[in-house]
Chain A
Amino acid sequence: GAVVSQHPSWVICKSGTSVKIECRSLDFQATTMFWYRQFPKQSLMLMATSNEGSKATYEQGVEKDKFLINHASLTLSTLTVTSAHPEDSSFYICSASGTDSYEQYFGPGTRLTVT
């Protein structure tokens, strides 16, 4: 089956620093990748959609300058949380889809804690 990995699985950083999270499709080419954020005891909120080689499309209310998304290859997308603040602490989950764009494969998530 299609496998998506995320790295790191958890990270603690200081307020004001930037953190990069990687999302990789291990056994298929991901034409589209998605980034979600999940606060404790809440649902997943779609942050942005990225297609390989083009700029990401952000959902309403998501700051594109704060959450930088790069999808430079068909197997890798990165999310960089810039100038992180404690309110950015959350569970970040990526997903990837291939040629069948209605099947999404989810990564295991990255727990970010900003102190």
Chain B
Amino acid sequence: SQQGEEDPQALSIQEGENATMNCSYKTSINNLQWYRQNSGRGLVHLILIRSNEREKHSGRLRVTLDTSKKSSSLLITASRAADTASYFCATAPYNFNKFYFGSGTKLNVKP
């Protein structure tokens, strides 16, 4: 990808389990954002974490950011079948108002 990689590429879990996705990026950033995309649809913004933040919560979502390792993780707790989608991280480099997307993780939550 233009900016970084995500792992795993695919993740299959049972409803009720937690799902963790990781994102690594290459350059210094101003912020990192996570998006969700259902198959063939547009993007849904989930959460933004700034470079001076280490952790952020939003409902069942928890995002961490480690700028020293240039990595972030997205945790979805108590997953639901409706969480099935692809999840992308996007980074905004310093001094550039543009995004670069990671390679994405395809999450399948089995009912």
Query: Which chain A residues have a beta carbon within 8 Å of chain B's beta carbons?
Result: 32, 34, 36, 41-46, 49, 59, 91, 93, 95, 97, 101-109, 111
- Return the contact of A93 from the options B31, B42, B106 (Cβ within 8 A): B42
- Chain B 11-27 per-residue mask, 1 if CB under 8 angstroms from chain A, else 0: 00000000000000000
On whether A91 and B40 interact (CB within 8 A), knowing A43-B1, A102-B30, the answer reads: yes
CA distance A36 to B100 in the complex (A): 10
Contact call A46/B88, Cβ cutoff below 8 A: no
- Return the contact of A43 from the options B30, B48, B101 (Cβ within 8 A): B101
Most chain A beta-carbon contacts within 10 A, residue among B31, B35, B40? B40
Q: Which residue of B lies closest to A45 (CB)?
A: B2
Q: Known pairs A36-B101, A95-B99, A109-B42; list 5 more (Cβ under 8 Å).
A: A43-B102, A49-B98, A106-B35, A106-B42, A107-B42
23 residue pairs from A and B, CB less than 8 Å apart: A34-B98, A36-B101, A42-B104, A43-B1, A43-B88, A43-B103, A43-B104, A44-B88, A44-B101, A46-B2, A46-B99, A49-B97, A49-B98, A59-B2, A91-B40, A93-B42, A93-B43, A95-B99, A97-B97, A101-B97, A102-B92, A106-B43, A109-B41
CA distance A105 to B43 in the complex (A): 9
Scan residues 78-94 of chain B and give those whose CB is less than 8 A from a CB of chain A: 88, 92
Q: Name the distance in Å between A81's Cβ and chain B's nearest Cβ.
A: 19
On whether A46 and B42 interact (CB within 8 A), knowing A59-B2, A102-B30, A102-B92, the answer reads: no
CA distance A79 to B88 in the complex (A): 24
CA distance A52 to B43 in the complex (A): 23
Interface band, chain B: 20 to 34
Q: Name the distance in Å between A79's Cβ and chain B's nearest Cβ.
A: 16
Closest 3 CB pairs of A and B: A101-B97, A108-B42, A106-B43
Q: Name the distance in Å between B89's Cβ and chain A's nearest Cβ.
A: 10
Contact call B101/A102, Cβ cutoff below 8 A: no
